[in-house]
Amino acid sequence: LERRNLHHQSEELVRTEAAQVVAVSDDHENFSKYQLFLSDFPRQDLLGMSVGNRKIYISYKLAARALTHTGYLWLLRQTIAHEIAHETAGHATKKGLGWFTGANFSFGASGQDVGLPWYVRLYNYPTEKELEADRIGLEYWKRLGWDCQIWVRILESYQRQQYQSDIYHPTDRRLQEAQNSCPTSELKTSE
């Protein structure tokens, strides 16, 4: 019963946070079409995944931790904004960029990494699309009045931990772009 309650609270948190982000996007009229799922990704560094058609998967562990820890709440907000940005930018619907496929896979997440059968392969968004999703997501944060320096500090934390993710999410480039989009002089009040 306790796990079921935690799962429900986590789902509600993800839905509430996603609603805020979608409300400031160009897709604000379509929030009811978004399908948000919690996932127990086997690979712990996977926090979210956008698969097109407004379908987004978010790490259950991240959402559950965000219920009680502010740092994880901001990481959840970053993840949600990034994944919604993939959707609003149409990355999954552009020719050749669908996530799920039976074709070749290269150096990012595999089907097994996200809890799918071994024969399911994924196309990863190219690095430029990942960086674009960060830029768009960061713009959503600014529209919401959230402190964009928190986004920068999350990436700085990755860098301090020497976390490199995969070739599609290069921490150094993501951090540089975030710092360029959010100069220190742009500090805003966080919630």
Q: What is the pTM of this model?
A: 0.83
Please give the average per-residue pLDDT across 92-107, as a whole number. Answer: 45
Side-chain half-sphere of 175: how many Cα atoms within 13 Å?
15
Return all residues near 31 (Cβ < 8 A) that are at least 6 apart. Answer: 18, 19, 22, 23
Q: Is the pLDDT of residue 18 over 90?
A: yes
Contact 93, 52 (CB under 8 A): yes
Strand, coil or helix: 50: strand
Q: Is the pLDDT of residue 32 over 70?
A: yes
Mean pLDDT of the chain, nearest integer = 83
Characterize the bridge pairing of strands 35-39 and 55-59. parallel
Name the more confident of 105 and 115.
115
Q: What is residue 112's predicted lDDT score, i.e. its pLDDT? A: 60
Name the more confident of 118 and 149.
149
Q: Is the pLDDT of residue 54 over 90?
A: yes
